[in-house]
Chains A and B, each alone.
Chain A
């Protein structure tokens, strides 16, 4: 039985790999069925304003997002690279939820220009164990980079 920290680490590595390696269809699978995924600016978050930049209220809504990324949206080809650190594991809540906070840095590389810092901020997560596997019941991405460099296509 691995310790909780290395389980969390493995989940986060898997999350980053699903996006960075363009295995986007694996991304919703890291959430539970009624999981919440929200990208919200620090500006809105700090002021208690509810508007999200991206809001998925179920695994199916995330899967719909993936279909639009693959099939309906127009955007210049790019690669993302997620770097995650400063992972703080909080207390186990009632119902076995684990609260975890971490920092993220997302780098973006378009084909004809140098790599840029696309976004930085923090993840506010709630993790649960289902079918013997750790997964997200909630991931809220609060980004400091309030002025987004044009388009936010893929999950932070």
Chain B
């Protein structure tokens, strides 16, 4: 099957390697099919839920990995199970509620029933009716469970994998990325603040490119630049794991003042002041100087820590030309009322109406529109050189190059 799909992929990457991205990676349906198989259903860990979304036995949540619907559920022992949302009988998407609490899952079509670990526990008319019909004598419910995924949970976040060959989660992140992960997920109990969802009419990889690209942030985002929340003249770094698939952008907040760098930014507005400054009233809450750490975890997650706003941004693919961005905003269970209020105010920066993130959603739509008619063209990634190493500044596209280095390896293209 894999070979058959590969053979249909009559494409070759530009000879400049990962300093170029051919535009067909954003549009080709066969590339998309191969991504589903090798990346999202491959030996990767996809974010599916925060543990605080399903705190009690029987709590469940519906979500997706790539374009495959799954259900995340907590059983009586507190253990988490992730199953494909597909009845083992005829493939019906049995769970239609987005969240809830249940004792079992029942497919409405023929009422096949599963326990909270996905085991098949009920098949109506299995022995027939009036000695007629019924399943064959050798029908074994134990071999018709729901498809169960591998599950990893670390400090309140839950990840799942379709492939049993996925390495242990900690090893998958690597020591350096695990350090950044544990900075936000330090073991404290989390508090769910709510969701935002948007459908972005662009290829999912554009989202990763965007968050791995600190170069644009100092130019596109007038709001960030003006208030010094993320800007090229501030201490910053870009770091990747050894494979290049995960990365972080790290920076520290600066002031709203005119200098040589801000003078070169058309987007810097020295005169713009908030008439109600309560919107931006960040307090330091993490060790070290960094005030923003944006971490991208292959293949579907961005962990956002910008000032006091914390969120998981989960990507769900919707074909080559669209993806859903699901934002799960959270704080800590021991946050004061003031801190919760601060996080909720700063959430104005992010999401589908975010003072900063609106720019990104729109740019991804413009990107998709721009590249779609041009299969033979490619994007240029040479800012900061042509290599894939981390650097102590933000004038680079190295993290995007590193991403495509790994992408090409996984995709075999």
Contacts and interface: CB of A to CB of B under 8 A. Distances in A.
A binds B: yes
A153 B267 CA distance: 19
Given A55-B344, A150-B201, A43 B98 contact: yes
Interface string A48-92: 011111110110110110011001111110000000000000000
A44 B280 CA distance: 23
Nearest to B363: A74
26 contacts: A41-B194, A43-B98, A50-B194, A51-B329, A55-B347, A58-B276, A58-B278, A60-B276, A61-B275, A68-B223, A72-B223, A72-B269, A73-B359, A74-B362, A75-B358, A75-B359, A76-B366, A147-B197, A148-B199, A148-B352, A150-B198, A150-B361, A151-B198, A151-B361, A151-B362, A152-B358
B192 to A, nearest CB: 6
A96 interface: no
Q: Tell me if B's interface is mostly helix, strand, loop or mixed.
A: mixed
A39 interface: yes
Contacts of A153: 353, 358
Residue with the highest number of chain A CB atoms closer than 10 Å, among B99, B193, B194, B355: B194
B316 to A, nearest CB: 10
Interface string B340-376: 1000110110011101001101110110000000000
A39 to B, nearest CB: 7
B321 interface: no
Interface in B268-287: 269, 272, 274-276, 278-279
Contacts of B340: 50
A72 B226 contact: yes
Given A74-B359, A76-B366, A153-B358, A53 B351 contact: yes
Contact of A61 (B192, B276, B362): B276
B353 A68 contact: no
B57 to A, nearest CB: 19
A60 B275 CA distance: 6
A70 to B, nearest CB: 11
B166 interface: no
Contacts of B261: none
A62 to B, nearest CB: 9
Residue with the highest number of chain B CB atoms closer than 10 Å, among A44, A60, A75, A150: A150
A46 to B, nearest CB: 11
Interface of B: 98-99, 192-201, 220, 222-223, 226, 267, 269, 272, 274-276, 278-279, 324, 329, 340, 344-345, 347-348, 351-353, 355, 358-359, 361-363, 365-366
A57 B278 contact: yes
Bin the interface of chain A by size.
20 to 34
Interface of A: 39, 41, 43-44, 47, 49-55, 57-58, 60-61, 63-64, 67-68, 71-76, 146-153
Contacts of B194: 41, 43-44, 47, 49-52
Nearest to B344: A50
A68 to B, nearest CB: 5
B222 A72 contact: yes
Residue with the highest number of chain B CB atoms closer than 10 Å, among A63, A67, A151, A152: A151
A53 B195 CA distance: 9
Nearest to B98: A43
B276 A64 contact: yes
A34 to B, nearest CB: 10
Contact of A41 (B196, B222, B269, B345): B196
B324 A147 contact: yes
Given A63-B275, A72-B269, A151 B353 contact: yes
Contacts of A74: 220, 222, 358-359, 362-363
A39 B406 CA distance: 40
A74 B195 CA distance: 23
B358 A51 contact: no
Nearest to A63: B275
A56 to B, nearest CB: 8
A55 B345 contact: yes
Nearest to B346: A55
A124 B269 CA distance: 36
A76 B365 contact: yes
A32 to B, nearest CB: 14
